[in-house]
Amino acid sequence: MAAFTVGALLPLLTILLVPADLRVWVTVAAVTAALALTGWLSARFGYGSARRAVLRNVVGGLLAMTVTHLVGQAVGTQV
């Protein structure tokens, strides 16, 4: 549960601190950077391929964000 809370802090802070017109894009950029960092760290600690880990994290995370955004649009929510 602590990992989920810590992971949610970055997007929450960007949403709260960034002006509304830039909010979505800055959040996507910040989360993408965090995904790349966690992929690199996991490869470093696990003695694996950093390139594969970063790519897997970033692609999976962007896919999850895209699906979530599309579902939100489908049910009529607004950013």
Burial of 57 from C-beta contacts in 10 A (0-12 / 13-18 / 19+): buried
Q: What pLDDT shows up at residue 56?
A: 97
Cα 36 to chain centroid distance, Å, stands at 9
The pLDDT tens digits along the chain (79 residues) read 788 888 889 999 999 999 999 999 999 999 999 999 999 999 999 999 999 999 999 999 999 999 998 998 899 876 6
Radius of gyration from C-alpha coordinates of the chain: 14
Q: What pLDDT shows up at residue 40?
A: 97
Contact (Cβ atoms closer than 8 angstroms) between residue 61 and residue 31 = yes
The reported pTM is: 0.84
